[in-house]
Structures are given as structure tokens and as C-alpha cells.
Structure 1
Amino acid sequence: MNVLQALFFPPEQPGGVSSMVPYVQERFVRMGWGMELFSIPKRVRGKGAGSFEFATFDWRRYAGVPIVDRYMQILKDYEWWTKLRVKGSYDVIHAHHPVAALVMKKLFPDTPVLMTVHSSFEKELLLNGRIEEGGPEEQFLTSLYGELEHQVDRLMTVSEAFKTYMSAYVKHPERILVIRNGFDEKRFKPMAHENEVPQLITMCRLVPAKGLDILLRACAELKRRELPFMLHIIGDGPMREELEELAKTLGVYDDIVFYGYMLHPEEFMPFFDVFVLPSRAEAFGNVFAEAALCWLALVGTDVGGISEQIDHGVNGLLVPVNDAGALADALEQVVVDPSFRYELSRAAYEKAKSTYSLNRVIRQLKRLYVGAAELGD
């Protein structure tokens, strides 16, 4: 069996897909399968020409909108790069981005193409204040779900919550398969430790959608309550300078460490006590499972895939979105009570180990690939 994993971003790019797909490849290759990773380099921009059409809607009604025009050019660029670089034949193509899926199906119509939707570009743009709700950008991007349903041989996503979200934009939502992400336990080295001052850690791209402004306000409230803590922020992005200024304004800059991007944060994470991320939306939230596998207590918002991972009060704590006071209350519980924190972290580890195993993902994908290849013959 020969499988192509079609990504958009290169596999070394930080993010949920990159934290899983290379390990999937490693496992399948070890089993004797052929599996390659394909992506488009950042330098390939503006190379594609010609036209790209959709079967389920006319994109020209949105022409002239910068984000739409850029998306259409990216489709052409990906097609140009694929024609240039992909020379072999494959039994199955598994795409992890709408651009990859649509291009692969266009160029290899007789090859089964499976598509996993990992996140929502339109929700990210909305939450980051770059587009308006109901605007042409959102209409165009949500129309792509119906196009994917029409074009690919199997449509998948990573959580029941995101399946529900996609259901509004497809004809047969019951056919969407949920395969939750999985992680190689060997990457994680949890260790027992005692920190005199509770160490909080968060890891994400520094954009409005991740809610770090709310986290800083919650930390300011912890300080007002005279509760000891240190917050470690791993990640980079356009909000970094704004967040640093907010931390200074709130009087918590000296209680926070901004690290920037880190290549292997799982090697660093086991030394901390609590993972916290108050996202405003999250299709799955890989980083919560990764933190759980490092024996950290979890605190997150009651949205999307986060609420599927955290059973409130059992293996972590859930708070409403945009509620700094509720987040401060939750953090206080895990800061002041080491025994409770320990119970949450061990329960989080057990759930992540049993539910988000890479072995489970490999079994599910193997069945899918074999079935798709047989139907494609």
C-alpha cells in the first residue's frame, strides 16, 4: 500500500497536524507501507496560473475580495507545485487541508482522496477580527465544506463538536467520520516534581482566538488575591507585543515569561504544574492532550474539542469563554490545593493515554486506507 499524506504547511511548521502526521508516517513505514509527506514551501507564491473551478458554487461572486483572491491563487500555486513535484502513483491520498484535498482530487481523479478537516479558517479570521460575520469571506470559506463533501471520497474531522459545526454546510453530515487525534506516548516523559511556586504554562500561537488577554487578566486577579504563581507562555505571533504591554499595564509582567516559538515543547512541559489555555474556539486542541500526557492539570474553556477532552472536576476544569473572573477562580483551585491538582493531572494522563493513543489512530486509518484502496480498484 502506498499512501500520500498531503499537507499544506511543511511538517516542521508548529501546529496540531505537524504534531501527529509525521508520527503516523513513521508507524506505517515501520509496518512496511509506503507513505510520503507532501506540502508546499512558503516560497512558492504567485506561481500558479490558469483557472480553478468548483462544482458546487461559483467563486466569482466573491472575486475582488482580497482573502478570496488570495485563496484562489494559493489553490493555483498548490496545483502548480503538485504537478512539478508529485511524480509517483498512490493507492490513497490523505489530505489535511482543503487546498490539498481539492487540488489532489483534480489532478488524480481516479485515486481515492480522504480529507481530514482539522480547523476552521473562517472562525480563526472572525475571532482574530480580520473578517466580519456573514461577510463574503465567511460565505466563500464555508462554501468549501460542501465542495469538499462533493469532491472527496471520505470527509473526516477531529471532534464531535467540529462535526456539528460542519454539519450546517454539507448535505449529509451523518457521513462525516470523527477520528480524534492521537499521540505517541514515547514523546512524553512525565515526571513527579515539587515546585514551591505553582508553575502555569500555556502554548499557542499568539492571536486573539487563543484568549491570552483573558489569561493575563485572570493572572492579575490571582496576584490581587496574593496567590503565588508563575506563567510561562510558549509561542509567537502578531499579538506578542500587545500581550507584553498588557502584562505591564496589569502589573504581572514580572510574573510571566515569554519564550517565543519552541521546537519540542513536550520536552519542557513536564516541569510545570498546570496547563491553561482560554481559547475562544478550538476544533480539537492537541495541546491539551499533550499537556495531559506530561502529567499537567488542565484548565480550558468550554468550547469545541476542549470540552470533549476535559470532564469538569475530574481531569481538569472548564470555564466560560471570555470570563477572566471564572478563569481566575479555576486557577485558584489548582494553585492553592496541590492534592486536587495532583488528582486532576493523573486523571488527565489516564484519559489521554487511553483515548488519544496513536495506536488507535493507526488502526482506524489502516482500515480506512485499505477500504478506500479496494473501492478505488
Structure 2
Amino acid sequence: MVPHIGERFRKIGWEMELFSLPRRIRNKGHDPIKFETFDWQTYAGNAIVDKYIQTYKDYIWWVKLRLSGQKYDLIHAHHPIAALAMKHIFVDTPVLMTIHSSYERELILNGRIADGGAEHRFLTAIYTELEHQTDQLMTVSNSFAKYIGTYLKEPELIEVIPNGYDEKRFKPVPHENEVTQLVTVCRLVPAKGLDILLRACAELRQRDIKFVLHIIGDGPIREELEALSQSLGIYDDTIFYGYMLHPEELMPFFDVFVLPSRAEAFGSVFAEAALCLLSLVGTDVGGISEQIENGANGLLVPSENPVALADALETVINDPHFRYEMARAGWNKAKKTYSLNRVISELKRIYTSFDKEIEQEQGTDKQET
């Protein structure tokens, strides 16, 4: 989304620069790290924490190397490390931070760290540091704002701006499939609940309901999922694609998008699927439940419940008219609520609040990184 936003802002005369840390930069930074709101040293010695701190050092090193002497009206970061590093270097420049997801919840759900353990406490302490260091915190859903707000002193100041999408990239394609085509697009990790999806599809098979399940994406549990689909007797009904650079090019030819995530800050792929005129089935968690109004523009089911998921899938498979009506409602909502123009308008409002001169002189260049 960020490159498309930059392009739109440049079209209205606001100069923007995109900046990130290349993957090849490793162990270059050596500046001592100190946080204002907590002592990170108490968490040192844990792999996740040590890697986080080193990446922070590397980012500072890279910023000093590449951006030394530069001046910016405003900096909008999309990763906590980027926000903290930029504020470390550009002390007097307003730094805005959009928190897109919860790294700690993802690690917990994927079995990489313990709930309440040292790494978990460190990562949630970063939210407090971000509030202290940055000039504005933003996030992508009300549910996620509520989650991170538990770690902030003034949670009411969080701005919520749902993600926006370039409609030109997502276009419905008229098609008729003899057998209902289900699709999911995600990284293959436990947090996405694909084991629940496979068990739901096995339940459909037991009910003698025809379907084809397309799984687009790759990840560390792919072999495990393939083995599960074989043991459940649905391997011949399931297609594992692996990683795909532009899944939106294939998406419009399916019928139902389904993803039973265990947690989602927003769930961008639901909006993308809606713009492709797919019917939506998801879990009643996080940002998914803000996108889907159950029974109106999609179906919501409890997480960790393969039977409930199978029931929802049976409904959309057996009732094509209902499926289409929900898809049409989802498409209308996505076009209205998740348009890139809306995001541009919201960001412009926030950006100009930090510089009244820009508000008065709309033609003045603005720099952001």
C-alpha cells in the first residue's frame, strides 16, 4: 500500500521519499541503545530481543550513512524500529507511526515465544516507548487500537485509519465454476488457522459437498499442512500453490475466500478478496469482524471451530444466489471504506495538522520518508 500512497501524494505535488533497511545490512550498527520508558537490558540474552536490538542498531547506522544532512517536514514510519531510529536521528522532526500488526501475538500463536515470557514483555513495552518517542500513533482497526491501548498512557489519542487499496489492481472477472472454488491467501503459519480450514473441508467431504480448496502462500508448516490434508482424505481436493507474487491476478476466478485466522490486526486479504467480488468467510477476531457484517457481506464463525466453519462454507456452496449477494455487498463496502482515496484524505488531514503552513499553501512540497 505504501508505494501507491507515495505515488498519489507526488501527483499532488508533495515530495516523498521511501526509505527502508536492506536485508543485506547485518551487524553493522554498534551505537548503544537506550529506551526512555524501560530498561531493555533486563531482557537481554533472549534471541528475539537480541535480534530486535541489533536490527535497531543497524537501522540507526543505515540512516546515518544514507540520510545524513537531510531535512524532512515529517516522517511516517511503518515499523517500530524505523520509527525509533528516525526519531533518534531526526529529533526535531515530527515522526508518525502506523502499527500494522502485533509481532508478539504472531510469535505466540506460532509457538516461537511464551505468552507472558521475557520476549513478550519486551515487545509490548515497545508500544509504550513508541507512545513516548513519536508524535502520533496510528493503526488499522479499532480492535487493534484497543489491544495496543492497554499498553499506552493515552490510548484515546490513537488514530485509526483502515488500509486502502488501489482498485485498479483488484477487478472482478465474470466466471462460472461447476464446482465451488474456495481460496485462501496467507503465509503458512499456525496463526492463520489453516489446520482448522482443512478439518472443516474434511467435514464438507463427509457431508458429500463438492469443493476445491486453493491454498496460495508458503511458510514453515506447508509440509505439515500437506500431510494433514492427506490424513484427512482431502489432498485430491486441495491445491497448494506455494508463494505467488501477484495472487490478485488469479483471485477473481474463485468463488469464496476463507481464512480462519486466530488473530488479525486488520486482515488485508479480506478487503482484497472483496474487491475481486468473492464471498467472504472468516473468524470473528480482530479486524476481520470489523470488515465483515455477518450475513450481510460475509459470514463470521468462532475461531478454533471447524464444524462451525464447515457449516458456513456449506451455506455459501449450496446457495450461489446468497453467495453472490454477499459478495456484491462486500464489494460495495470495500470500494467505499477501503479506497486509496480515503486513506490519502485521512493522511493528508493528519500530515497538515503538524504544519499549518502546508494547510494554507497546498502547493508547497512536503517530504516524508
Q: TM-score range by the shorter chain?
A: over 0.9
Residue 374 of structure 1, CA deviation:
3.9
Q: What residue number does 1:368 align with?
A: 350
1:224-256 deviation per Cα after TM superposition (whole angstroms, max 9, x unaligned): 111110011111110111111111111111111
Match of 1:123 among 96, 105, 119: 105
More displaced stretch, 183-192 vs 344-353: 183-192
Match of 2:250 among 253, 268, 271: 268
Q: Does 1:167 align with 2:149?
A: yes
Q: Is the 8 A contact 1:188 1:293 kept in 2?
A: yes
1:334-357 deviation per Cα after TM superposition (whole angstroms, max 9, x unaligned): 111100110110000001111111
SS at match of 1:258: strand
> Which letter maps to 2:64?
K
Report the TM-score, using the length of structure 2 for normalisation.
Answer: 0.95
Match of 1:226 among 198, 208, 222: 208
Residue 65 of structure 1, CA deviation:
1.2
> Which letter maps to 1:186?
K
The equivalences for 1:45-84 within 5 A come to 45-84=26-65
SS at match of 2:36: coil
Q: What residue number does 2:114 align with?
A: 132
> Which letter maps to 1:162?
F
Q: Is the 8 A contact 1:206 1:239 kept in 2?
A: yes
Q: Could you say if the C-alpha distance between residues 375 and 152 of structure 1 is closer, same or farther in structure 2, counting changes exceeding 3 Å?
A: farther
Residue 330 of structure 1, CA deviation:
0.4
Q: Does 1:31 align with 2:12?
A: yes
Q: Is the 8 A contact 1:113 1:152 kept in 2?
A: yes
Question: What is the rounded CA distance, in whole Å, between the counterparts of 2:218 and 2:287 in structure 1?
Answer: 22
Question: What is the rounded CA distance, in whole Å, between the counterparts of 1:115 and 1:86 in structure 2?
Answer: 19
Question: What is the rounded CA distance, in whole Å, between the counterparts of 1:343 and 1:253 in structure 2?
Answer: 30
Report the TM-score, using the length of structure 1 for normalisation.
Answer: 0.93
Question: What is the rounded CA distance, in whole Å, between the counterparts of 1:64 and 1:54 in structure 2?
Answer: 17
SS at match of 1:109: coil
Match of 1:178 among 145, 150, 160: 160
Match of 1:304 among 286, 298, 313: 286
1:15-63 deviation per Cα after TM superposition (whole angstroms, max 9, x unaligned): xxxxx11110111111121111111111111111121110000001111
> Which letter maps to 2:51?
R
The equivalences for 1:74-153 within 5 A come to 74-87=55-68, 88-153=70-135
Q: What residue number does 2:266 align with?
A: 284
> Which letter maps to 2:48?
I
SS at match of 1:73: helix
Q: Is the 8 A contact 1:179 1:361 kept in 2?
A: yes
Q: Does 1:331 align with 2:309?
A: no
Residue 375 of structure 1, CA deviation:
9.1
Structure 1: 5+ residue stretches without partners: 1-19
1:115-161 deviation per Cα after TM superposition (whole angstroms, max 9, x unaligned): 00000010001000111111001100000111000000000110000
Question: What is the rounded CA distance, in whole Å, between the counterparts of 1:195 and 1:66 in structure 2?
Answer: 48
Q: What residue number does 1:6 align with?
A: none
SS at match of 2:336: helix
Residue 373 of structure 1, CA deviation:
3.2
> Which letter maps to 1:138?
H
Question: What is the rounded CA distance, in whole Å, between the counterparts of 2:226 and 2:21 in structure 1?
Answer: 33
Residue 264 of structure 1, CA deviation:
1.2
Question: What is the rounded CA distance, in whole Å, between the counterparts of 1:136 and 1:203 in structure 2?
Answer: 32
More displaced stretch, 302-311 vs 249-258: 249-258
> Which letter maps to 1:289?
A
Question: What is the rounded CA distance, in whole Å, between the counterparts of 2:241 and 2:128 in structure 1?
Answer: 40
> Which letter maps to 1:309?
Q
Q: What residue number does 2:240 align with?
A: 258
More displaced stretch, 79-88 vs 111-120: 79-88
Q: What residue number does 2:196 align with?
A: 214
SS at match of 2:272: helix
Q: Is the 8 A contact 1:302 1:319 kept in 2?
A: yes
> Which letter maps to 2:53?
M
Residue 192 of structure 1, CA deviation:
2.1
Question: What is the rounded CA distance, in whole Å, between the counterparts of 1:375 and 1:329 in structure 2?
Answer: 56
Question: What is the rounded CA distance, in whole Å, between the counterparts of 2:172 and 2:244 in structure 1?
Answer: 18
Q: Is the 8 A contact 1:112 1:373 kept in 2?
A: no
Question: What is the rounded CA distance, in whole Å, between the counterparts of 2:173 and 2:128 in structure 1?
Answer: 46
SS at match of 1:233: strand
Q: Could you say if the C-alpha distance between residues 151 and 375 of structure 1 is closer, same or farther in structure 2, counting changes exceeding 3 Å?
A: farther
SS at match of 2:97: strand
Match of 2:337 among 355, 360, 363: 355
1:78-117 deviation per Cα after TM superposition (whole angstroms, max 9, x unaligned): 1111111224321110000100000000000111100000
